[in-house]
């Protein structure tokens, strides 16, 4: 050890008092200092208002994004208590705003259940805000206090009278902490809509002053409305099954419905928190679902020696599972997975009894569900055989790469890129123009199968899809393993015409339905080839939008001696042009494909790629005016 390291003693141990720890290690409390963490601040403040709604005291919540990215959250709850705290000798409101693990959520008499049980919520927001203003309406008075970076600038003062009750918090995130400062309206609106679904009758409004955008959410049907919203264009097989029962301090709510599609949409929540990694509540739900349907099918001679798996009974299922419990045990700070062991048995028992009752009382619906599950089981068996056949051809186990793939020399996925290119002509140009060290090219011939309308065994008979699966190397569907992905940039590169747009949509549908982890990891991109080449004399310029082209023409002096070429196909560019405009990391533009709103994405794919024509026509009519550069 060096001489410097020998001085490691008590003087080097830092004790971070109060909110100092939050500012020192913000990621520990809000996940990141990027976009995710910035939005997490809003959720923490809103969660306080939601807890008031859960306790029965709040009917409306209003969120405003101001022009300067300041956020204001207002509710009509009881208002944070303002009397002096016996231990700290300051107002209870100041304790809540400045002390970690302080608040009413630890007192079972104040909040029976709560989403923010770690108790760090609003104090963390205060610590990470450059400015925060707290206004409380309570007991006929209006109270006000200002803070900066977690420290009070003023005392809690009475500033007027009030006939209403509630809390209003305005805060500006600290730009010395956060890497981004712009809030995304759609990300916030998605979470607020989710909260409105989960809290029957609660009205939540979001207003964006930057562009005068407003959305209001209120669902008197609660999670039944949630399922209706998800299944609105999916041809449901039966009426929604709804269960709501309280047992041993656990309040369970389930709404579920099967549709004619093949995708599974199951959302599980604990105290309004979306447990995206599942947990014991979801395990109980799945166990009861599989057992009840198998038992009913066997008892009524509907299965004929078929034993349905958990996957079989979830094909085409839309379900929302929401439980409220006094002391949830989450695995990890992100609260993504529930760990309470007693919950599995309780959910399995309550839901199992309710589902058995529904099946017995609705034999026609029960038969449709059984037939759907049996059909899924047969298709799954066919898919297994198709996989085995494909493996024998070295297609799925990485034993051999497809002949048409021009691979890169790099074997480091983090540095490697795979271009999925429309057509052999463009594929040829891309192969010649690429950087062979880190760019692989896979030409795709024609249009791949529409996976929205086909089961997996049919999909696996499509040569272009098999070729893609093989090149990516991570498998497909339930066997997919993100760690085996051979490229961390998968770039869809299609022509700038109607056919190109269609192929791009087919590919996006495939990735969304069968390799969603690729999108979640941020590995999927769309190339942006130029729309125009503008030439005047010996000067050549490429433009990527109509507006860029018009601005360039104006700059070059009008139409005098200007030649404009509209690119419709990638094959119209020679290898060096394709590299310069679309593939060179120094000059190209790539659009990263992300899923900010899984429910809306699912709905959009169903509309655009599903069997129903009417919703697609309506979508086209509503959005036709937004389309640009249409090749007709």
Query: Could you tell me the CATH number of the domain that includes residue 97?
Result: 3.30.565.10
Q: Are residues 416 and 364 in the same domain?
A: no
Question: With bands split at pLDDT 50, 70 and 90, how would you rate the model's confidence at 541?
Answer: confident
Please write the tens of the pLDDT for every residue from 240-277. 999 999 998 899 999 999 999 888 999 999 989 888 88
Single pTM value for the model: 0.77
The pLDDT, as a whole number, for residue 202 is 96
Q: Are residues 196 and 228 in the same domain?
A: no
Domain boundary residue, one of 309, 344, 374: 374
Q: Are residues 270 and 347 in the same domain?
A: yes
Strand partners, 207: 64, 214
Annotated catalytic residues are 422, 495, 497, 499
- b/e per residue 362-385 (b: at least 16 CB within 10 A): eeebbbbbbebbbebbebbebbee
Please write the tens of the pLDDT for every residue from 462-500. 889 999 999 999 988 878 999 999 999 999 999 877 888
The pLDDT, as a whole number, for residue 461 is 86
Give percent above pLDDT 70 in the chain: 89
Residue 10 has pLDDT above 60, yes or no: no
The pLDDT, as a whole number, for residue 103 is 54
The domain that holds 620 is classified in CATH as 3.40.50.670
Q: How far is 49 from 114, CA to CA, in rounded Å?
A: 11
Q: How far is 492 from 511, CA to CA, in rounded Å?
A: 11
In a domain, 36, yes or no: yes
Q: Are residues 57 and 149 in the same domain?
A: yes
- Count up the domains in the chain and report the number: 3
- SS3 for 78-127, per residue? CCCCCCECCCCCCEHHHHHHHCCCCCHHHCCCCCCCCCCCCCCHHHHHHH
The pLDDT, as a whole number, for residue 618 is 74
Q: How far is 43 from 190, CA to CA, in rounded Å?
A: 11
Q: Are residues 324 and 426 in the same domain?
A: no
Q: Are residues 163 and 95 in the same domain?
A: yes
Residue 102 has pLDDT above 70, yes or no: no
Q: Are residues 201 and 233 in the same domain?
A: no
Q: Are residues 58 and 206 in the same domain?
A: yes
Q: Are residues 102 and 149 in the same domain?
A: yes
**Closest listed residue to residue 562, CA positions, set 544, 542, 537, 531:** 537
Residue 159 sits in which domain range?
21-217
In a domain, 419, yes or no: yes
CB of 534 closer than 8 Å to CB of 552: yes
Residue 402 has pLDDT above 50, yes or no: yes
Domain boundary residue, one of 318, 343, 374: 374
Strand partners, 170: 72, 133
The domain that holds 333 is classified in CATH as 3.30.230.10
Q: Are residues 415 and 507 in the same domain?
A: yes
Q: Are residues 271 and 414 in the same domain?
A: no
Question: With bands split at pLDDT 50, 70 and 90, how would you rate the model's confidence at 119?
Answer: very low
CB of 223 closer than 8 Å to CB of 320: yes
Residue 628 has pLDDT above 70, yes or no: no
In a domain, 534, yes or no: no
Half-sphere exposure of 130 (CA within 13 A, CB side): 13
> Average pLDDT, stretch 316-344?
87
Q: How far is 359 from 380, CA to CA, in rounded Å?
A: 24
Domain boundary residue, one of 198, 217, 236: 217
Q: How far is 378 from 383, CA to CA, in rounded Å?
A: 9
Q: Are residues 155 and 30 in the same domain?
A: yes
């Amino acid at each position: 050890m060096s001489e410097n390291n020998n001085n490691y003693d008590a003087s080097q141990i830092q004790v971070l008092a109060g909110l100092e720890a939050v500012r020192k290690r913000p990621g520990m409390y809000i996940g990141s200092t990027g976009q995710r963490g910035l939005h997490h601040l809003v959720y923490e403040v809103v969660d306080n208002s939601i807890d008031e709604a859960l306790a029965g005291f709040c009917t409306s919540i209003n969120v405003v994004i101001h022009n300067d990215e300041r956020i204001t959250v207002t509710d009509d709850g009881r208002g944070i208590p303002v009397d002096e705290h016996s231990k700290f000798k300051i107002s209870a409101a100041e304790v809540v705003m400045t002390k970690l693990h302080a608040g009413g959520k630890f007192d079972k008499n104040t909040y029976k259940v709560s989403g923010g049980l770690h108790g760090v919520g609003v104090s963390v927001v205060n610590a990470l805000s450059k400015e925060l203003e707290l206004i409380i309406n309570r007991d006929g008075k209006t109270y006000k206090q200002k803070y900066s970076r977690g420290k009070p600038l003023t005392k809690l003062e009475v500033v007027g009278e009030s006939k209403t009750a509630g809390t209003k918090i305005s805060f500006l995130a600290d730009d010395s902490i956060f890497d981004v400062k712009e809030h995304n309206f759609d990300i916030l609106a998605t979470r607020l809509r989710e909260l409105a679904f989960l809290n029957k009758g609660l009205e939540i409004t979001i207003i964006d002053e930057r562009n005068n955008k407003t959305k209001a959410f209120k669902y008197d049907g609660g999670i039944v409305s949630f399922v209706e919203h998800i299944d609105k264009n999916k041809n449901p097989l039966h009426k929604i099954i709804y269960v709501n029962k309280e047992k041993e301090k656990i309040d369970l709510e389930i709404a579920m419905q099967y549709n004619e599609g093949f995708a599974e949409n199951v959302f599980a929540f604990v105290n309004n928190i979306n447990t995206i990694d599942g947990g014991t509540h979801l395990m109980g739900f799945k166990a009861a679902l599989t057992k009840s349907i198998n038992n009913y099918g066997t008892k009524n001679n509907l299965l004929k020696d078929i034993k349905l798996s958990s996957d079989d009974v979830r094909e085409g299922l839309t379900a929302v599972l929401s439980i409220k419990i006094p002391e949830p045990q989450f695995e990890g700070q992100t609260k993504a997975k529930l760990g309470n062991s007693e919950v599995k048995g309780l959910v399995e028992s309550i839901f199992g009894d309710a589902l058995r009752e529904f099946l017995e009382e609705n034999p026609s619906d029960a038969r449709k569900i059984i037939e759907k599950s049996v059909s899924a089981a047969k298709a799954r068996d066919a898919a297994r055989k198709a996989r085995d056949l494909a493996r024998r051809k070295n297609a799925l186990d990485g034993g051999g790469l497809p002949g048409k793939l021009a691979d890169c020399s790099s074997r480091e996925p983090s540095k490697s890129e795979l271009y999925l290119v429309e057509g052999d002509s463009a594929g040829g140009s891309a192969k010649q123009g690429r950087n062979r060290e880190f760019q692989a090219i896979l030409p795709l011939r024609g249009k791949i199968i529409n996976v929205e309308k086909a089961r997996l065994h049919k999909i696996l008979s499509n040569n272009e899809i098999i070729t893609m699966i093989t090149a990516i190397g991570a498998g497909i569907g339930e066997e997919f393993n993100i760690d085996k992905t051979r490229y961390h940039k998968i770039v869809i590169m299609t022509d700038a015409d109607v056919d190109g747009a269609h192929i791009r949509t087919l590919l996006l549908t495939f990735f969304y339905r069968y390799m969603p982890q690729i999108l979640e990891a941020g590995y999927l991109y769309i190339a942006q080839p130029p729309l125009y080449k503008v030439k005047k004399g010996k000067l050549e310029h490429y433009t990527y939008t109509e507006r860029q082209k018009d601005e360039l023409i104006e700059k070059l002096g009008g139409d005098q001696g200007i030649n404009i070429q509209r690119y419709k196909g990638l094959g119209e560019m020679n290898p060096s042009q394709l590299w310069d405009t679309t593939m060179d990391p120094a000059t190209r533009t790539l659009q990263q494909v992300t899923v900010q709103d899984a429910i809306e994405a699912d709905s959009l794919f169903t509309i655009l790629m599903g069997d129903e024509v009417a919703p697609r026509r309506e979508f086209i009519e509503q959005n036709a005016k937004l389309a640009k550069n249409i090749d007709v």
